[in-house]
Structure 1
Amino acid sequence: METMKIGRAKLTWLNGGVTHMDGGAMFGVVPKPLWSRKYPVNDKNQIELRTDPILLQVDGKNLIIDSGIGNGKFTDKQKRNYGVFEESNIDQSLAGLDLTRADIDLVLMTHLHFDHACGLTAWDQEQLVPAFPNAKIYTNETEWQEMKNPNIRSRNTYWEANWKPVESLVHTFSDSIDVLPGLQMIHTSGHSDGHSIIVFEDGEETFIHMADIMPTHAHQNVLWALAYDDYPVTSVHEKKKWMEYGYGKEAWYVFYHDAHYRALKFDQHGEVVDKTDRTARAYE
């Protein structure tokens, strides 16, 4: 597992599984000859996207950022279509840190699409139960309402199995919420109407988790928005705002999906000045 310290926060990437999604959809209107130079693509035109939750340990609390793809949530057809070659192995990751799911205090959900939210629930024999039974789950109110009442387009990504068992654990916010001192969830919209980012600041140290308005390092260009985005123009404006903010602070940008980097640090000109690589997994 990859681990890093940013201020008083310790971040550890857990093994939450993997998907392989269509590269054209992940880069929207950007021509393939451009995006494929920045991110590898397979012969099915798919790119590898990790779904690895970030364990955030700060002020004696154990937090999880997004939840992975869980286990036993996909049909064989879905596994094939979404390139699910590996499901979640969070229990083993936590055990390596002398933790269990019961030790998680808070789960911060940037949004509730299936590739982020399948890990919120787990099978107990024939029944789905909360995967983190003692944790409060924070997400944006707009996102939560769409999760429970998806429209004709979004119902393929907002699954009842991922919200109904945890309904009593969910706490929502509108514009932003101070989770802990220096740690905020901030509503951006864009990728989904209720999409949020996570910002942590401790003195001179900052990290920003842009979630799916910048899912990989190859999406650094503010104009490179996903075809999956419900509000791509909003994604562009919000990315520009938070990239400029982070550049000014020489912030770390941490990733849930990136198959190559866990985190990148940019200077005031947007040039990479430090990085944390992802260690290759056994299935590769």
Structure 2
Amino acid sequence: MRVGEITFHWLRGGVTHFDGGAMFGAVPKALWSKKHEVNEKNQIRCVTDPMYFEYQGKHYLIDAGIGVCRLTEKQKRNFGVVEESFILEDLATLGVRPEDIDCILMTHLHFDHIVGLTDTNGESIFKNATIYTTEAEWQEIREPNIRSKATYWPENWQGIASQIQTYAQHLELNDAISLEKTGGHSNGHAVIRIDSQGESAIHMADIFPTHAHQNVLWVTAYDDYPMDSIFAKERIRNELDGTGKWLLFYHDSFYRALQFDVDGNVTDKVIADRGIYYTSIWYMN
């Protein structure tokens, strides 16, 4: 997918099946199941696919997938993992080596976004990259609370600590790429904006995890601060609807990106091409 002069490549970061009730929080199944298919275990299929792009001679990643051999068999079972990461293989097909990656833009540091940064020894895979995250997120992964320790694991950050660069609220890397702290899903959750040659995209990460979360009130039970998610989602949706900006996805199994008109109807889409196991029952106008 191309936005201005930037071409995005989605990489195969892993395939999970998260609990449908958890993914839609307080929304009754009778409602959300009309928007997203669910399997016999009440799980919905969620990919964990990072994005790669090149800009001004630098190589970028957005998030990092679930890695290879980084989860226990129990964790794989609980999270419905049916495929682990092929990020390095996909980068190789683009002629990119792990040591070529210059910048990694982290939306947040939950396990399903960060595990792919380190190998089975806990060592950094992308050794030459600067890894950007918010100050709040970096603080919490090192000192998780009673709730967040379930997803912030020490083995996920210790091997990359020297590569971390933090920011408080906003960070403009250059004329095309900026990051903004939203909170909500986690205290330090961030969105990423791409603006190039008059075209734009926003990666809203886990405050808009799938196409079925279009309603601003539909947030996950994993969100630590759900009202912050709702307010941020509402504000950013106003930037998307009717503007021609793309919404980019990390977890959606059906769509890589969507555009909306002023009424929230889908006007354009990029369909995922990584082997969908079933067909979406969400009918777009």
TM-score (norm: length of structure 1):
0.95
- The residue type equivalent to 1:234 in the other structure is D
Report the Cα distance in structure 2 between the residues aligned to 1:103 and 1:249, rounded to whole angstroms: 34
Q: Which residue is 1:53 aligned to?
A: 50
Partner of 1:149: 143
Indicate the SS of the match to 1:226.
Answer: coil
Q: Hey, what's the Cα distance between the residues in 2 that align with 1:11 and 1:270?
A: 24
Task: Pick from 259, 268, 274 the counterpart of residue 265 of structure 1.
Answer: 259
Aligned length: 278
* 1:14 and 1:94 in contact (8 A); partners too: yes
AA aligned opposite 1:6? V
Structure 2 counterpart of 1:142, one-letter code: A
**Residue in 2 aligned with 1:110?**
107
Query: Who is 1:202 aligned against?
Result: 196
CA contact (8 A) 2:240 2:259 kept: no
Contact 2:242/2:260 (<8 A) preserved: no
Q: In structure 2, which of residues 238, 249, 257 is the aligned counterpart of residue 255 of structure 1? A: 249
Q: What secondary structure, in the 3-state scheme, does the structure 2 residue paired with 1:130 have?
A: coil
Query: In terms of mean alpha carbon deviation, does 172-181 or 52-61 score higher?
Result: 52-61
Q: Distance in 2 between matches of 1:199 and 1:122?
A: 29
Tell me by how many angstroms 1:70 deviates. Answer: 0.5
Q: Residue 83 of structure 2 aligns with which residue? A: 86
Task: Give yes or no for contact 1:206–1:249 (8 Å, CA) kept in 2.
Answer: no
Specify the alignment match of 1:278 in structure 2: 272
Aligned to 1:7: 4
Report the structure, 1 or 2, having the larger strand content.
Answer: 1
Equivalent-residue separation in structure 1 for 2:166 and 2:109 (angstroms)? 12
Rate the CA distance shift 1:83–1:75 in 2: closer, same or farther, 3 A. Answer: same
Q: Conserved in 2, the CA contact under 8 Å of 1:250 and 1:268?
A: no
Deviation of 1:218 (Å): 0.7
Whether contact under 8 Å (2:52, 2:62) holds in the other structure is: yes
- Provide structure 1 residue ranges, at least 5 long, that are not aligned to the other structure: none
- Residue 282 of structure 2 corresponds to none
Matched, 1:21 2:27: no
Match of 1:193 in 2: 187
Q: Secondary structure at the match of 1:85?
A: coil
Alignment of 1:64 with 2:61, yes or no, is yes
Matched residue type, 1:19:
T
Decide which moves more: 266-275 or 59-68.
266-275
Identical-pair percentage: 51
Cα distance, 1:248–1:204 mapped onto 2, change above 3 Å: farther
SS at match of 2:152: coil
The one-letter amino acid paired with 2:122 is L
Q: Is the 8 A contact 1:71 1:119 kept in 2?
A: yes
Paired residue secondary structure (2:119): strand
Shift of 1:204: 2.6
When structure 1 is superposed on structure 2, of 239-248 and 103-112 the one drifting more is: 239-248
Q: In 1, Cα distance between the equivalents of 2:178 and 2:32?
A: 31
- Partners of 1:113 and 1:71 in 2: CA distance: 16
RMSD between aligned alpha carbons?
A: 1.3
SS in 2 for 1:134: coil
Report the CA distance between 1:128 and its aligned residue. Answer: 2.0
- 1:255-282 per-position Cα deviation (integer Å, ceiling 9, x unaligned): 0000000011112222111111011438
Give TM-score scaled by structure 2 length.
Answer: 0.95
| Partners of 1:51 and 1:68 within 8 A in 2 | yes
After TM superposition, the runs of 4+ consecutive aligned structure 1 residues lying more than 2 A away are 280-284
* Offset, 1:283: 8.1
Instruction: Confirm or deny: 8 A CA contact 1:254 1:262 kept in the other structure.
Output: yes
Q: In the alignment, which residue of structure 1 is the partner of 2:134?
A: 140
